[in-house]
Each structure stands twice: as C-alpha cells, then as structure tokens.
C-alpha cells in the first residue's frame, strides 16, 4: 500500500498500511488519499509549523518562485526493513518530501519498486536520496532481484548504486550534493547498504543491540 500528495494527515505511512489492508488498490494520491484517510478514522490537522512557514517565505522572496534554479535536496526520509523470528519480512518508507517542490511532485518513497520493494521469498530494500534518480532505475526492485539471483544484500545494493552512477554520472560530477543510497535485508538476516557518496549512515538492530554503521560509497570522482 502507498499514498502520495497526502496533506493534513500526520502519519501517512499508517494510511498506506490501511490502503494495503482495507482496499483493493495499491496506491492512493491527493484528495482521494485524504478522503480515504478520514474515512479510516485519521484526524486532519494543521501540520505547518511557524518555522517552516518562515523558511518558505524567505525562499519565495529570494528565488522569485524559481523552482528549477533554487530547488535543493532538502528532506527527511526514513526507511525500515524488518525480519521476525519466523522469517517474515516487512518494510516501510516515509518522507517529508522535497522542500519547495512544484505542487504535485511525487518522489520515490511511495513508488513501489523505487522507494521500497519487499518480496517475502527473497528480502527487502529501501532507498533515500534524490528521488528522481531512483525512480529512473527503480532501484529497490533492482536490489531485491539481484538478491533473488544469488547476490548478497551488500552486493545487490552496490549493483543498484553502480546503475545509478552510470545513468547520472554527468550530474554527479557537477553537483556535490547529489546522493542516493540503499539498504537491504534478506531472509537469512544478512544486511547490506551502499551510497553514491560518503555520509550515509544506517542502523542495524539485532539481538537487542543497535549499531550505527557508515555505508560503503562507490563514487570517488
């Protein structure tokens, strides 16, 4: 289940689960997603903070509303892949979305196969970074299919990152903030992660212990 362009609902990932459990659909967006959320008992609320409004007004005044020139990758995305003692795997991704985006822009987080992909017979993968780059290669699906074909989660994440680098190399060379990263988990509990550039960290929780790990990065240009 997935939702996109959902406004005034505090926990959209919970609405996405309701789409999966209580509808025949895979994805709902915009007003339809909002109406579904309300029908499922979610309470609308004003989520715009004073600080966010001030930042938006400052950007609007300085940029003149020029999205193309002034847009930057400013977001918070969280992705989780979980495996229980019965080898049942699940995953979820939620994001604030890209700051100052054009109204109607949908990122990779709700796109199944891009922001998230889970197969109960193989494993799961999730992504963060430049959503448009990830959607062009449907990266999380690449990761899971690579694991299906025998690669470890680490090898699978690296395969997807290499694909992204190959497709976006010219932009990567020009834009030092261009980043994309994947995490993966298979049914044996093996974990992997890879990113284009240094700086991506991921957490692993196992046997009551949390570990924060620096991801391997592949671009060194």
Which residues are annotated as catalytic? 77
CB atoms < 10 A from the CB of 75, how many?
Answer: 17
Q: Token pair 């995305």 is at which residue? A: 77
- What are the b/e assignments for 46-72, b being 16+ CB within 10 Å? eeeeeeeeeeeeebeeeeeeeeeeebe
Q: Token pair 């054009």 is at which residue? A: 102
Cα separation of 36 and 86, whole Å?
32
Distant-in-sequence, close-in-space partners of 125: CB < 8 Å, separation ≥ 6:
81, 91, 116, 117, 118, 139, 140, 141, 143, 144, 147, 153, 156, 157, 160, 182, 183, 184, 185
Three-state SS at 80? strand
CB atoms < 10 A from the CB of 21, how many?
Answer: 9
């Amino acid at each position: 289940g997935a939702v996109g362009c959902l406004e005034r609902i505090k926990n959209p990932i919970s609405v996405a689960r309701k789409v999966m459990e209580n509808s025949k659909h895979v994805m709902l967006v915009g007003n339809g997603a909002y109406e579904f959320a309300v029908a499922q008992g979610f309470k609308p609320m004003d989520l715009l903070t004073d600080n966010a409004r001030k930042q938006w007004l400052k950007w609007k005044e300085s940029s003149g509303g020029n999205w193309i020139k002034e847009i930057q990758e400013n977001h918070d995305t969280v992705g989780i892949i979980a495996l229980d003692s019965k080898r049942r795997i699940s995953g979820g991704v939620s994001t604030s979305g890209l700051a100052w985006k054009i109204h109607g822009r949908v990122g990779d987080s709700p796109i199944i196969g891009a922001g998230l992909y889970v197969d109960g017979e193989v494993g799961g993968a999730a992504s963060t970074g430049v959503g448009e780059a990830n959607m062009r290669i449907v990266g999380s699906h690449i990761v899971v299919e690579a694991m299906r074909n025998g690669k470890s989660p680490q090898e699978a994440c690296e395969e997807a990152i290499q694909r992204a680098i190959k497709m976006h190399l010219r932009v990567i060379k020009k834009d030092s903030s261009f980043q994309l990263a994947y995490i993966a988990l298979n049914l044996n509990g093996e974990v992997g992660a890879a990113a284009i550039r240094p700086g991506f960290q991921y957490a692993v929780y196992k046997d009551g212990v949390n570990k924060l790990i620096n991801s391997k990065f592949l671009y060194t240009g």
